[in-house]
Chain A
Amino acid sequence: MQSETAAKRKTRGFAYFQKGFRTHRFAYALIVPTLLFMLLVHFLPMAQGIIMSTLKLNQFTLARYLHAPFIGLDNYKSLLFDGSNPVRQGMGFAVRNTVIYTIVVTFLVLAWGLAVAMLMNRPFPGRGIARTAMLLPWVVPSYVVGVLWGFMWQQDGIINYLLVDVLHLMGEKPFWLIGHNTIWAIIIPTIWRGWPFLMIVFLAALQTIPEDIYEAARIDGAHKLRQFVHITLPLLKPVFAVQLLFQFINNVYSYNIVSTMFGNGAGYPGEWGDLLMTALTRQSFGYWAFGSGSAASFLLMVVMLVFVGIWYRMFRSELNAQ
């Protein structure tokens, strides 16, 4: 069927489109508002961002906005080659932290989400309540997560109380919100908030796997681990692929928790707490370097597109199989 329509499209081109349009007129009419809305909130701002990246847009020219002086690719040049460009300051730390943060959060959220989903997939008394209870962290808005954990991480806060006074795991109370530990202070709350959603997605996927496949495997003598590796994992792969992408994008663009944990955008999260988005926001809006900021955002988008391309190549077969 798939190849047939493709062939038709090729041979008849516009006529085919016209016919399709005529038969599905009502459906197209229904799509139009969405399409217009997408153009408005989605492509227009993006186009504007790209235009802004070619302008000398700072506080003195902001009043002219899109009529600010056109400087071509100078913003990109300065971003890549001029060490004094404001958007570059401290960006090295932000990139390093974002790489660590994204890898650790993505991996742990997926692994933990899957592990708990498998536990929740077997029947036990109170399963419904347990599932709902586990969703709670995900319901907490990320803004609140940042503020709450910001209190808990304080040197005289509850985390140090538990670690030092109750469990005696450490000799003296460490700083979590300043210095090297900051990276953990942002990773852990993100995982805490992120995994329940993965659990729900994996749980839904697990429930679509027919029980008789496992039964057949059991009859053939496959033990639990083999069942997991040869049945569960392959069948979850499409879901896994999509979630991997979501998590990756989500974490690279992470902003809320870090921003609220460190003075609501005012504070500098420090060399071990700054992420790409918080750095980009501060360095472009804080320094009124709107042109350079747009250029940096566009470059980031290109880099992300490359990653999305790699991801697509990796999982193409699974995604098309569906």
Chain B
Amino acid sequence: MLKKKSKWTLFSTVMALTLLLAGCGGNSGNGSGSQASGSAAASSSPSASASGQASSSAQSAPVTLSAWIMPNSPKPDADLLKVMDPYLKQHPNVTLKVTVLDWGSAWTKITTAATSGEGPDILQLGTTWVPAIASMGGIDKITDKISDVGGAENYLSASWNTTKIEGQEDIYAVPWFVDARAIYYNTEAFKAANVDPAEAFKTWESFEAALQKVNGVTVGGNKVAALGIPGKNDWNVVHNIFPWIWAAGGDVLSADHKSAVFNEGKGIDGVMYYTGLANKGLVDKSSLEKNSSQIESDFGDGKSAVIITGPWLAKNFATPKDAGGMSDKAAAKQFAISPLPAGPAGQSTFIGGSDLTVFKGSKHKDEAWDVIKYLSSEEAQKAYANISGQLPAKKSLIESPDLDSNMKAFAEATKYGKSYPSIPQWGPTETALQKHFANIWDIVAGVKGKYDKDSIQKEMDDAAAEVNSIIQQ
């Protein structure tokens, strides 16, 4: 009987390992749609590698670089190779082998690699993972090389912030692409309710007033709810709440990163405003049980007038159904994007995304850095942003006038964007926040006590206590 039992122990351990921590990646840019397609892909075609190697012998020694990436685009490995094509043509001695990890198992694989020293040459990391992997000694310092990619001034400060460990000078990563949050609104719904979008998204007051007007209007035979909010059963619970805390003047941690401050007065105001929208009937409460991709799909069907999500949805609306997109949906041709409204402390949004790093155990560090340099060039940044639907990391491109009009609103939003503190303990911190913010949604849904400032304050205090015990250990 012991046998049977420990078999189950083992089984659950394996299950546990495989389902680890994907939520703390910071980058939730891959809505579940793209995730499914990505996890099926493996590595680049062997024939392409062979031909690359064959023609190389003349110049420099042939080298095979391996890159681990996440499913950032519909065909993650092929898309990256397509972007790399000009480089690989110029460097026939270089063969790039791309391995796609899905976000769910990436953390386990990367920490295993960091622990054993056996891993790729080039490694993509979610922005919040960089300090953790850096403190584990899994990635190389690149401090003296950053001028190759333009240095700090060429990137958004919120994303440059994710390339180091808070309080230290060294740089470990280069921002690759940026994830941000902005408002998608149904233009027909706003027309039907006679609300001017130019005014609606200015301040919290005008936003709430606009939602009140839009709530319940009929568009295409559908009665729309003003706002779609995924509740607690989602990856983005934490990313959805912090923009409001920041806009209210609150912050995540104190300036010395030694204690939690999100439960202080201003932070609570932000949470009360955001959850208040749901409590005032501006949110279809059934959406509180859904996850981000269901909310996006509901918005596509015209069930809600406003949702807050990342740049990938615009790309998704432009992609035909048979390629995994939603271009057939009603809202695909009647939406527009706007930055989040300004709270008492001004505008804000969540900034995440992914960084590129050189793996510590790599035997071809110079070549790996050369590839990262290429991926940071304007040409490659532009190409990859187009393919993936993410925002480029280079400031010059974000601010470029020929940016896609949908992306311009995101570019505007990133100006006020903030990223989480770049501390090694962010993963556990986010797990704790996720849990307590989930309880807040229970309170909002009316199934866990009375919704008022006291009950929210209490839950936020519990969250702060747990976060403090994590960051002070």
Contacts and interface: CB of A to CB of B under 8 A. Distances in A.
Interface of A: 41-43, 45-46, 49, 58-60, 62-63, 65, 84, 86, 89-90, 150, 153-156, 173, 175-181, 245-246, 249-250, 253, 255-256, 259, 261-268, 270-271, 277, 280-282, 284-289, 297, 301, 304-305, 308, 312
B9 interface: yes
B21 A285 contact: yes
Interface string B145-160: 0000000000000000
B42 interface: no
A146 to B, nearest CB: 11
A179 B445 contact: yes
Contacts of A270: 232, 438-439, 442
A291 to B, nearest CB: 12
Contact of A259 (B19, B137, B427, B428): B19
Contacts of B272: none
Given A253-B8, A255-B15, A178 B21 contact: no
A249 B469 CA distance: 33
Given A154-B286, A268-B435, A286 B428 contact: yes
Contacts of B233: 150, 177, 261-263, 267
Contacts of B13: 45, 49, 297
Contact of A178 (B24, B288, B466): B288
A267 B8 CA distance: 24
B145 to A, nearest CB: 24
Contacts of A277: 12, 15-16
A175 B447 contact: yes
Contact of B431 (A46, A156, A245, A287): A287
Contacts of B427: 59, 286, 288
Contacts of A175: 285, 288-289, 445, 447
A45 B17 CA distance: 13
Contacts of A281: 15-16, 19-20
Contacts of A268: 232, 434-435, 438-439
Contacts of B104: 264-265
Contact of A86 (B138, B237, B288, B470): B470
Contacts of B232: 178, 262-263, 267-268, 270
A60 B135 contact: yes
Contact of B441 (A153, A178, A308): A178
A246 B7 CA distance: 12
A282 B15 CA distance: 12
Contacts of A263: 23, 232-235, 291
Interface residue SS majority, chain B: helix
Most buried by A among B424, B431, B445: B431
Nearest to B444: A178
Contacts of B466: 86, 89
A265 B137 contact: no
Given A63-B137, A266-B235, 8 more contacts: A63-B115, A156-B284, A178-B232, A250-B8, A263-B291, A277-B16, A286-B427, A301-B6
Nearest to A90: B435
Interface string B24-39: 1000000000000000
A42 B7 contact: yes
Contact of A287 (B12, B136, B237, B432): B432
B1 interface: yes
Contacts of A173: 286
B425 to A, nearest CB: 7
A163 to B, nearest CB: 14
Nearest to B25: A266
B428 A288 contact: yes
B235 A178 contact: no
A89 to B, nearest CB: 6
Contacts of A284: 16
The 4 A-B pairs at the shortest CB distance, nearest first, are namely: A179-B447, A286-B431, A155-B286, A266-B23
B280 interface: no
A245 B1 CA distance: 9
20 contacts: A43-B6, A59-B136, A60-B424, A63-B138, A89-B432, A156-B284, A175-B289, A176-B289, A178-B288, A178-B447, A249-B8, A253-B11, A253-B12, A265-B104, A266-B22, A268-B434, A270-B438, A285-B17, A288-B428, A301-B6
A46 B6 CA distance: 8
Given A175-B445, A271-B439, A305-B5, A63 B22 contact: no
A86 B23 contact: no
A62 B428 CA distance: 14
